[in-house]
Chains A and B, each alone.
Chain A
Amino acid sequence: QVHLVQSGAEVKKPGASVKVSCKASEYTFTSFAIHWVRQAPGQRLEWMGWINSDNGNTELSQKFQGRVTISSDTSANTAYMELSSLRSEDTAVYYCATGHDFDIWGQGTMVTVSS
Chain B
Amino acid sequence: DAKTTQPNSMESNEEEPVHLPCNHSTISGTDYIHWYRQLPSQGPEYVIHGLTSNVNNRMASLAIAEDRKSSTLILHRATLRDAAVYYCILIRGSGDKLTFGTGTRLAVRP
Same complex: no
Binding site for B on A (CB under 8 A): none
